[in-house]
Amino acid sequence: MPPAVADSRILISTATYNERENLARLIQEFHAFVPTADILVVDDNSPDGTGQLADEMAAKDPRIHVLHRKGKLGLGTAVLAAMNYAIEHGYDLFVNVDADFSHHPRYLPAILAGMQRNDVMIGSRYVPGGGTLGWPLSRKFMSAGVNVVVRLLMRIPAHDTSGGYRCYRVSKLRETDLTNLLSHGYSFQEEVLYRCHRAGSRIGESPIIFEDRREGASKVNLKEVARSMGIILLLGFQSFLGQDKLPDKTVSPVNRG
Ligand SMILES: Nc1nc2c(ncn2[C@@H]2O[C@H](COP(=O)(O)OP(=O)(O)O)[C@@H](O)[C@H]2O)c(=O)[nH]1
Ligand SMILES: [Mg+2]
């Protein structure tokens, strides 16, 4: 790990809903790749007892923390809660990782290394060396389509604007307006990245192979997809027409890492 990153206080957060089969191994792998990191599990009262398992692990390891929410409130708000936790607890770097190993912890060192030059690092499926494994063609098309729309309308200088595997500089998150987000679910990723970009964050990408989950089931459903597409189109056209009312601190267009 480069010194600038090794000295940082790092919070790795994972949102969980029924991820009991994955959680213990996941946290072990986080610590195998980034031993100094604290871990935050944001659990929405998973019926399978993921939250309870997280509590048991936290009782044995002071690096592990758990945020319990009353019920399934959506991935977006779970990540937002974790971001606020990172801000309130004085972390330097905040990483979000899905709990189902689609975001493999092996990519953490490269993503963190990119933070030397960037304020947001994306674990990216759409740069050379990146990709998806195990997704049906329909899901691939949907993801590619969303990314084209976002790039054209929101002009975010990144290739993977919908993936959730990201590291953020917490001091930059403090300067980013994270209030009144429209998204609670999947479009959260695009909306937050857009706001980070407008707040002047330098965005970099590091390749990941996204592997579809092996354990448990996806929580994505048609209603959520339709809602997210609607929000992306609304935000995209607002941005395209210059009507988003966000302060624009964008400096240099692209700074990849
Ligand atoms: N806390 C919380 N986590 C969620 C919620 N929905 C999804 N997740 C978690 O978010 C991550 C991505 O969800 P997943 O179902 O794998 O979506 P997919 O990879 O897009 O099919 C996983 O770690 C889920 O457990 C939610 O409502 N609350
Ligand atoms: Mg998944």
CB-based contacts of 252, cutoff 8 Å, min separation 6: 202
CA neighbor of 190 nearest in space, from 223, 245, 143, 249 = 143
74 alpha carbon, closest ligand: 1
Alpha-carbon span 53 to 217, nearest angstrom: 19
Q: What is the pLDDT of residue 6?
A: 76
Atom of ligand 1 nearest to the CA of 17: 25
Taking the CB of residue 248, how many other CB atoms lie within 10 A of it? Answer: 11
Task: Report residues whose beta carbon is within 6 angstroms of any ligand 1 atom.
Answer: 15-17, 19, 42-44, 72-75, 78, 98-100, 102, 213, 218-220
- Please report the beta strands in the chain, taking only residues with DSSP state E, as ranges in sequence order: 10-16, 38-43, 64-68, 93-96, 120-124, 131-133, 166-169, 203-207, 209-211
Q: How far is the CA of 74 from the centre of ligand 1 (A)?
A: 8
Is 22 or 142 the better-scoring residue by pLDDT?
A: 22
Top mutation candidate among 13, 14, 17 for ligand 1, by most atoms within 8 Å of CB: 17
What's the pLDDT at 257? 47
pLDDT band at 43 (very low <50, low <70, confident <90, very high): very high
Q: What is the pLDDT of residues 200-246, one digit of tens each?
A: 999 999 999 999 887 777 777 788 888 888 999 999 998 888 888 88
Whole-number Å distance, alpha carbon 220 to ligand 2 midpoint, is 8
**Residues facing 124 on adjacent strands:** 207
Average pLDDT over residues 163-176: 97
From residue 58, alpha-carbon distances to 22, 67, 87, 186, 216 in Å are 16, 11, 20, 28, 23
Angle of CA points 124, 130, 136, to nearest 5°? 95
Beta strands 38-43 and 64-68: pairing type?
Answer: parallel
> Do the beta carbons of residue 118 and residue 255 sit within 8 Å?
yes
Atom of ligand 1 nearest to the CA of 100: 23
Report the range of poorest mean pLDDT among 70-79, 118-127, 148-157, 210-219. Answer: 210-219
What was the pLDDT predicted at 107?
98
pLDDT at 4: 62
CATH architecture of 3-240: Alpha-Beta Complex (3.90)
- pLDDT surpassing 60 at residue 254: no
User: What residue segments make up the domains of the chain, in order of their start?
Assistant: 3-240
Predicted confidence at residue 1, as pLDDT, reads 66
Looking at 89-93, 161-165, 175-179, 216-220, which range is the least confident one? 216-220
Average pLDDT over residues 173-195: 92
User: How far, in Å, CA of 198 to CA of 144, rounded?
Assistant: 23
Spatial separation of the C-alpha atoms in residues 183 and 27, rounded to whole Å:
27
